[in-house]
Amino acid sequence: MEWGGASGILPFRQFVLKVHSRCDLACDHCYVYEHADQSWRGRPKMMSSDTIVRTAERIAEHVRRHDLKQILVVMHGGEPLLAGPDVLAEVATELRGRISESCDLDLRIHTNGILLDDRFCDTFAAQGITVGVSLDGDRLANDRHRRYADGRTSYPQAVRAVERLRRQPELYAGLLCTIDVANDPIAVYEALVALRPPRIDFLLPHATWDAPPPRPSATAYADWLITIFDRWEADGRPVAVRLFDSIIATTWGGASLTEAIGLEPSNLIVIETDGSYELVDSLKVVHDGAPATGHHVANESLDEVAAHPGVRARQGGLESLAAACRACPVVTSCGGGLYTHRYRAGSFDNPSVFCADLFKLIVHVREGKTVRAHALPYDAIDAIAGGFGEARDVGLLMESQQSLRRALIVAVRAKAADETAWELLTRVEEDRPEMLDAVLAHPYIRVWAIGCLEGGGGPAHLANVAAAAAVRAGLDARLQVEVVDGRVHLPTAGTLTGVPGDAATLVIENGRVRLDGQAATWHPVRHLTSGGFSVLLEDSDPYRDCHQWRPLPRLSDAEAALWQESFDQAWQLIERDFPSYATGLSAGLTTIVPLTAADSGHDVSSAARHAFGAVAAALPPDPATFALLIIHEFQHVKLGAVLDMFDLYDETDRRLFHAPWREDLRPLEGLLQGTYAHLAVTDFWRTRRHIDPEPAQSQFAHWRAQTAEAIETLAESKALTPLGERFVRRMRDSIAPWLDEEISEAAGAVRAGG
Amino acid sequence: MNTTEDTSAQIASEVRDLQHVPLAQMKTYGDVELGATLRRLMPASPDVARVAVAAFNSSI
Ligand code: SF4
C-alpha cells in the first residue's frame, strides 16, 4: 500500500459516483432505501453537470497529487441507468478529459439492467465502461426480493439485459448476487453460471448485531455458500467467484479482492448526487446519517476527506480489529468481515455479525489448500551468494524454476485455440509424470511461453511441448503442431525437417514420429557427455535465439563431434580443478547452445534470464576457455533464478552505476549480475595460477581488483533489500581472503595498470 | 557492522510450489493462485492478476 507523503493519508483509488439517487425497482433488501439511513430523500435525483465537473476535477487533482497509476470509478445509484446515456457519457467524458493518460481509468457501472438497451450499450462501448448487473439467481430467487413497487417480477428484464451484454462481452463485467438462504443455492449457482459471466460475487445481506440477518440455523450462510463452493470446485471453477477467490488468495498470503473480507485498508469514497462525500455505502444500514462526512466536492479536496476519522477507521488493518478477531486463526482471510457487519450499539469494535459463517466457510475453503511456497534455507542463499552452491542448493533453484514453467504452461493454455495439446499433457502426466517434468525442464519452453504471454508469439508451440512429452513417455497421439522455418521441433526429443507451411499433423505411434500424409526427416536430439554427465546439445529449438549472438544452425555430425570433444575435455577440467563449481553445475546445467563465432575472434558466450539451465557459446578455442565460459555463464543462470524468487534490490531505482569492466554505466541488476559472474571469473584465474601461471596471475590480479571494487559499489548503492545486502556481504566474504593472496610483481603491475 | 543473521531458518518466496499439483487441477486454478508466481516473471503482463485492493463490495 502507498501512504501519501507528508500528509500520511492513504490516497483513494476507488470512487463510487451516485449518478442517480432513485430506483425503478423496490427490492426489499436494498441498503439505500430500506435501511436506517434515509438521506436519499433529501438529495437531488440526479447528479448535475456542475457536480459532475467538480467531481471529475477533484478526482483528477487527487490522481495528479499522488501520481496514481490506476483508479476505479463506479457509477452507481439508486439505479444509474435512470440518469440516461447522455449523463453517463458526460461523466465518462469529464473524467477522461481531466485524468492524465498515465493513469489507467477503470470505469464501471452497476445496474439492475432493467433499462439497458442498445443506446446505453453503444455509449458504454464508446466510453470504455464495463457493466455489472445485480441478479439474485434463478427466477424464484430473484423474485423473492427484486420486484417492482407493484410486486411484478423484474427477472425477464434483468436476464434480457445480461443476454444483451453477452453479445458484447467486452462490456460484460459480471453478476452480483445477494444471498438469501431461503433460496436453493444450487439453483442460484446454476442460473448465474448459465449466463456465462466473467465473474460473480455473492454478497452477505446487509445486517448488524443490532439488526441481525434472518438466520434459520447457526451457520446458515456458511452452509449455503459451502454448497456452492463444493459444486464450483467440482465443476472446475467455471467462473471467477470473488468471495471464494479472495479466501484462496488470502490463504496463500495474497490480497483479498473484496472489502467483504481481508485486512486490506479501504481506499474507497462515495460521492452522492449532491456532491457530498460519504463513507462506504453499506454504512447506511447502521443509523441515519452514518455514512456522512460533512464534506463536499465544492469545498474539500479528496486529501482532506482522506484524513477524516471515518475513512481512517477502515484502514487500520489487524490492529484496528476487535480482540476476538485479532486472536482468530482465520483473521488473515476474514479480517473481521465487512466493516458495517461489525456494528453493535454505537461501536464497530466487534467481530462480524456473520462471524460463525465466515469462520466455517474460510476453514472449509482452506481445507486441502496446502500448496506451499518455494523457499531457500539461508545457508543455501549464503552458499550461492558466495559464488558457489552445492547440488542441493542449485537443486532448490531448479525446483522453483519447474514451478514457474508449470505456471507459465497453465497461463499459455488459456490462449490456445483448442484443448488437444493440454489433454495430451495431462495424459502424459498421469502415465509418466517424470517424462513431463523432463520436457518442461527444457530452458527454452519458458522463453517461448513468456513471449507468448507478452504478445510476442502464439500458443501453437504448446502442441510441440505436449508431443515431445508423449514421444518420451511412449504414448500414441495425433495432433496439429507448429512448424517454424521448415522444422517441427519437439523439445528434448528431436526435430522433423523438410516440412512446408506453419502447421502440420503429427502422428506418434509406438514411439515413432511421422507427419500425416507428408514426408519429413526425423533428427533425434544429441547430447554432449563426459563421464556420467550429459547435457543437451541444442541446435534446433526455434526459441533458442534469445541470446546476444545468433545461434548456429543445426550442426553437421562432424561439427557435433568437435563440440563433444571440447566439452568432454572442459568438463574433465572443471571436475578436476573446480570441484566447488562442478557440483552445482552438474545439478543445474542441462543445455549447451552453439552460437556463431564473433568476427573479431573474441570469445562469445551468453546466458538468458528466461533460459534457466542453458549456457550458449561459440566453440571455444581450448578446454580451459570452455570451462571458464561455462562457469562464468552459469553464475548468471544461478543469480537469475535467485532473482526469480526474491527481490535483492529496489527495481524502481533507475540509477546507473559504474562497473569497472565497462565504459558505459550499468543499471543495478547489470552491475549485480556482472559482479557475481566476475567473482567466479576471479576464482577461476586464482586456481589456474597454479597450473598455467600466465596469463592466470595477471587475470587474477585484474579481476579480483575490479570485482572487489564493484562489490563495494553495490554495498554502498543503498538500493539493496535486506536480502540483497546479505547476498553482497557473502560475495565480499568470498573475495576478501583472495585480496590478501600473493601475486607476482608482473601481475601486480598489470593490476596497477588496470 | 553489528548485525545478527539467521542461518538456521529459510526465506519463503512468492513462487508457489506447483511441482506436485497435477496439471489437470492447475488448469482450473485462476489468476489468484498463479498470479503471485507469474508476477515474479512478468510484473507488467496483462495476463497476470494485478495486486488487488479491497474492492467495492456493491459492484463487480
Ligand atoms: S471469523 Fe469471526 S473472529 Fe475470526 S476474523 Fe472473522 S469475524 Fe473475526
Whole-number Cα distances in Å, A628 to A212, A378, A634, A669: 73, 28, 10, 22
Among the partner-chain residues A258, A264, A410, the one whose CB lies closest to the CB of B29 is: A410
CA angle A354, A357, A362 (to 5 degrees): 120
Whole-number Cα distances in Å, A90 to A47, A269, A277, A489, A685: 11, 20, 20, 54, 70
Residue ID of nearest Cα to ligand 1 atom 1: A359
Domain closes at, from A524, A546, A568: A524
Residues A220 and A360 occupy one common structural domain: yes
Residue A296 in 3-state DSSP? strand
Q: Does pLDDT of A511 surpass 90?
A: no
Residues A628 and A739 occupy one common structural domain: yes
Can you give the pLDDT at residue B4? Answer: 44
User: If pLDDT is split at 50, 70 and 90, which confidence band does A2 have?
Assistant: very low
DSSP state of A502: S
Can you give the pLDDT at residue A296? Answer: 94
- Could you tell me whether strands A665-667 and A656-658 are parallel, antiparallel, or unpaired per DSSP bridges? antiparallel
Supply A38's cell numbers.
Answer: 434515509
Q: Does pLDDT of A254 surpass 70?
A: no
Residues A149 and A223 occupy one common structural domain: yes
Residues A172 and A230 occupy one common structural domain: yes
Whole-number Cα distances in Å, A260 to A147, A256, A333: 25, 9, 10
Can you give the pLDDT at residue A35? Answer: 54
Residue A532 lies in a domain: no
pLDDT in tens, A412-465: 988 887 889 999 999 999 999 999 999 999 999 999 999 998 887 889 999 999
Supply A313's cell numbers.
Answer: 477507521
Can you give the pLDDT at residue A480? Answer: 97
pLDDT in tens, A678-694: 999 999 999 999 888 88
Residues A353 and A244 occupy one common structural domain: yes
Longest dimension (CA), chain A: 102
Which helix (H) or strand (E) segment holds residue A133: the answer is strand A129-134
Highest mean pLDDT among A194-203, A282-291, A448-457: A194-203
d(CA A546, CA A538): 13
Residue A628 in 3-state DSSP? helix
Residue A561 in 3-state DSSP? helix
Supply A147's cell numbers.
Answer: 420486484
Could you tell me if residue A35 is left (phi over 0), alpha (psi between -120 and 50 degrees) or otherwise beta? Answer: beta
Q: Does pLDDT of A607 surpass 50?
A: yes
For A125, other C-beta atoms within 10 Å of its C-beta total: 12
Q: Which residues pair with A490 in a beta bridge?
A: A494
Residue A371 lies in a domain: no
Chain B partners of A248 at a C-beta cutoff of 8 Å?
32-33
Domain closes at, from A479, A499, A524: A524
In sequence order, what are the residues at sequence separation of 6 or more whose Cβ sits closer than 8 angstroms to the Cβ of residue A540?
A487, A489, A495, A523, A525, A554
d(CA A583, CA A289): 70
User: If pLDDT is split at 50, 70 and 90, which confidence band does B2 have?
Assistant: very low
Can you give the pLDDT at residue A41? Answer: 65
d(CA A165, CA A157): 13
d(CA A446, CA A461): 11
Over the Cα atoms of chain A, what is R_g? 32
CB contact under 8 A, A374 and B33: no
d(CA A700, CA A683): 7
Mutation target vs B (from A29, A378, A401, A669; most B CBs, 10 A cutoff): A378
Can you give the pLDDT at residue A238? Answer: 85
Length of chain A: 754
Q: Output the DSSP codes for B1-54.
A: -------SSEEEEEEE--TTS-HHHHTT--HHHHHHHHHHH-TT-TTSPPPP--
Residue B58 distance to chain A (closest CA, Å): 8
> What does residue A522 show for φ and ψ, rounded to 5 degrees?
-95, 125
Q: How many domains does chain A have?
A: 3
Whole-number Cα distances in Å, A673 to A22, A56, A443, A584, A678: 61, 46, 19, 18, 9
pLDDT in tens, B12-48: 787 888 888 788 766 555 555 577 678 788 776 544 4
Mean pLDDT of A480-490: 97
Which helix (H) or strand (E) segment holds residue A535: the answer is strand A533-537
d(CA A479, CA A484): 16
Whole-number Cα distances in Å, B31 to A115, B16, B26, B37: 33, 13, 11, 10
CATH number, domain with residue A183: 3.20.20.70
Supply A417's cell numbers.
Answer: 485455440
Q: Does pLDDT of A482 surpass 70?
A: yes
Comparing CA positions, the residue from A461, A373, A395 lying closest to residue A425 is A461
Report which of residues A618 and B47 the model is more confident about. A618
d(CA A149, CA A27): 8
Which helix (H) or strand (E) segment holds residue A233: the answer is helix A220-234
CB contact under 8 A, B38 and A248: no
User: If pLDDT is split at 50, 70 and 90, which confidence band does A6 have?
Assistant: very low
Residue A720 in 3-state DSSP? strand
Flag the least confident range among A106-120, A587-601, A696-710, B8-22. B8-22
| Site residues for ligand 1, CB cut-off 6 Å | A 324-325, 328, 330-331, 334, 336-337, 351-352, 355, 358-359
pLDDT in tens, A260-285: 888 888 888 999 999 999 987 667 66
Residues A442 and A590 occupy one common structural domain: no
Chain B partners of A179 at a C-beta cutoff of 8 Å?
none
Can you give the pLDDT at residue A248? Answer: 82
0.80 cut: is pTM over it?
Answer: no
How many contacts (CB atoms, under 8 Å) link A and B? 209
CB contact under 8 A, B15 and A373: yes
Mean pLDDT of A68-90: 93
Scan for cell 490480497, then name that residue.
A255
Residue A250 in 3-state DSSP? helix
On whether the CB atoms of residues A104 and A133 are closer than 8 A, the answer is no
Can you give the pLDDT at residue A385? Answer: 98
Supply A596's cell numbers.
Answer: 556463431
Among the partner-chain residues A249, A379, A610, the one whose CB lies closest to the CB of B32 is: A249
Residue A430 lies in a domain: yes
d(CA A208, CA A348): 10
d(CA A431, CA A473): 8
In sequence order, what are the residues at sequence separation of 6 or more whose Cβ sits closer than 8 angstroms to the Cβ of residue A575?
A530, A531, A582
For A527, other C-beta atoms within 10 Å of its C-beta total: 15
Q: How far does residue A329's CA lie from ligand 1's centre (Å)?
A: 8
Flag the least confident range among A345-349, A607-611, A704-708, A729-733. A345-349
d(CA A362, CA A226): 9
Supply A105's cell numbers.
Answer: 481509468
Residues A511 and A625 occupy one common structural domain: no
Residue A320 lies in a domain: yes
Q: Residue B35 CA to chain centroid, in angstroms? A: 5
ipTM: 0.76
- Give the domain extent around A726: 583-752
Q: Output the DSSP codes for A559-589.
A: HHHHHHHHHHHHHHHHHHH-HHHHHHHHHH-
Can you give the pLDDT at residue A309? Answer: 85
Q: Which residues pair with A534 in a beta bridge?
A: A529
Flag the least confident range among A139-148, A216-225, A680-689. A139-148
d(CA A557, CA A555): 6
CB contact under 8 A, A237 and B14: no
Mean pLDDT of A221-237: 92
d(CA A351, CA A728): 46
Residues A360 and A419 occupy one common structural domain: no
Mean pLDDT of A490-513: 96
Q: How far does residue A363's CA lie from ligand 1's centre (Å)?
A: 11
Q: Which residues pair with A616 in a beta bridge?
A: A593, A606
pLDDT in tens, A632-676: 999 999 999 999 999 999 887 889 999 999 989 999 999 999 999
CB contact under 8 A, B38 and A645: no
CB contact under 8 A, A372 and B41: no
On whether the CB atoms of residues A23 and A46 are closer than 8 A, the answer is no
Q: Which residues pair with A649 in a beta bridge?
A: A720
> What does residue A608 show for φ and ψ, rounded to 5 degrees?
-115, 140
pLDDT in tens, A7-51: 578 899 999 999 998 877 776 766 555 555 566 566 788 999 999
Residue A377 lies in a domain: no
Can you give the pLDDT at residue A257? Answer: 82
Supply A16's cell numbers.
Answer: 463510487
On whether the CB atoms of residues A172 and A146 are closer than 8 A, the answer is no
Q: Output the DSSP codes for A429-495.
A: HHH-HHHHHHHHT-HHHHHHHHHHHTTSS-STHHHHHHHHHHHHHT--EEEEEE-BTTEEEETTTEE
DSSP state of A147: B
Can you give the pLDDT at residue B10? Answer: 80
Mean pLDDT estimate for chain A: 91
Residues A200 and A334 occupy one common structural domain: yes
Chain A partners of B8 at a C-beta cutoff of 8 Å?
378
Residue A514 lies in a domain: yes
Residues A520 and A589 occupy one common structural domain: no
Flag the least confident range among A288-302, A484-498, A521-535, B21-35. B21-35
On whether the CB atoms of residues B39 and A112 are closer than 8 A, the answer is no
Q: Residue A530 CA to chain centroid, in angstroms? A: 40
Residues A498 and A612 occupy one common structural domain: no
User: If pLDDT is split at 50, 70 and 90, which confidence band does A179 have?
Assistant: very high
Report which of residues A259 and A573 the model is more confident about. A573
CA angle A515, A519, A524 (to 5 degrees): 70
Can you give the pLDDT at residue B51? Answer: 38
pLDDT in tens, A330-389: 898 899 999 999 999 989 999 999 999 999 999 999 886 656 778 899 999 999 999 999
Supply A612's cell numbers.
Answer: 534457466
Residues A220 and A292 occupy one common structural domain: yes
Can you give the pLDDT at residue A279? Answer: 85
Residue A22 lies in a domain: yes
Supply A408's cell numbers.
Answer: 507459465
Residue A247 distance to chain B (closest CA, Å): 10
Comparing CA positions, the residue from A661, A598, A676 lying closest to residue A631 is A676
Supply A76's cell numbers.
Answer: 452507481
Domain closes at, from A495, A524, A553: A524
Can you give the pLDDT at residue A280? Answer: 75
Q: Which residues pair with A593 in a beta bridge?
A: A616
Flag the least confident range among A69-83, A406-420, B44-58. B44-58
Residue A3 lies in a domain: no
Q: Which residues pair with A271 in a beta bridge?
A: A17, A277
